[in-house]
Amino acid sequence: MPVFLAKGLTETDVLWSDVRQGYAWVGRAAHSLSNEEKLSAAQIRHNDEDPLAEVEQAPIASENLALMLSTFRKMTTSYWPSLFHCYDIPDLPRTNNELEQYFGSARYHERRATGRKQASPGLVVRGTVRINASVASRLLSFSGSELCPPISLDGARGASELDHLQETRRKQYRFRKSTETYLQYLEEKLNKERLPS
């Protein structure tokens, strides 16, 4: 064994019991989330509640283990509400890395199609629709009637979001085109809002 490796193992020897104990809990959660048994989202959620309860009630042997388990609980709690959707929806990527591959593919195809090195303004403004359509069209084929869904109340919300994104882009353009003029406009607007009417 190399000297530097032996020295590292010797100096970190006191930490290994904490790492083993923490890894056992994290490993149980990871095994459950891998879902080799093909359980439903509700069953996996139920199965994951037991290890989390054990972590909450376990006696903590050291400060390092307490910090490790605190981080594990905090991250699990923040992801919990949307952690199990992928088990009930076919073809939904299970991890962020798998999901990022879809976005990377969309960026790659956008660059190939437009010849741009950076995202086109249309992708920035209408990106949520374009990327969803790009991903969905690779998984399924759609008929003409499916591509023209009925107008719903969400359409108005979507239009207002689109207007907001386009206005943001216009402001960026105005700022780049004439920085001094745009900053003067903002200053005048701020002064008007401060003055009593």
116-158 pLDDT per residue, tens = 777 666 665 566 666 667 667 777 777 767 766 555 545 555 6
Q: Given this model, what pLDDT does residue 196 score?
A: 66
Q: How many residues would you count in the chain?
A: 197
Range of the domain at 19: 3-87
Give yes or no: residues 110 and 181 share one domain: no
Residue range 6-33: mean pLDDT, rounded: 81
**Number of domains the chain is built from:** 3
Rounded to 5 degrees, φ, ψ at 166 are -65, -40
**CA–CA distance, 28 with 40 (Å, rounded to integer):** 17
- Give the rounded distance of the alpha carbon of 64 from its chain centre: 28
Give yes or no: residues 111 and 70 share one domain: no
Give yes or no: residues 34 and 78 share one domain: yes
In the predicted model, what is the mean pLDDT of the chain?
Answer: 77
Is residue 197 pLDDT above 60, yes or no? no
Residue 128 placed within a domain:
yes
Is residue 37 pLDDT above 60, yes or no? yes
Give yes or no: residues 79 and 114 share one domain: no
Give yes or no: residues 45 and 109 share one domain: no
pTM: 0.49
User: What is the per-residue DSSP string for 137-178?
Assistant: HHH----HHHHSPPP-HHHHHHHHHHHHHHHHHHHHHHHHH-
Residue 121 placed within a domain:
yes
Residue 150 placed within a domain:
no
Nearest Cα neighbor of 32 from 23, 22, 41 is 41
Question: 25 and 72 in contact (C-beta within 8 Å)?
Answer: yes
Give yes or no: residues 175 and 131 share one domain: no
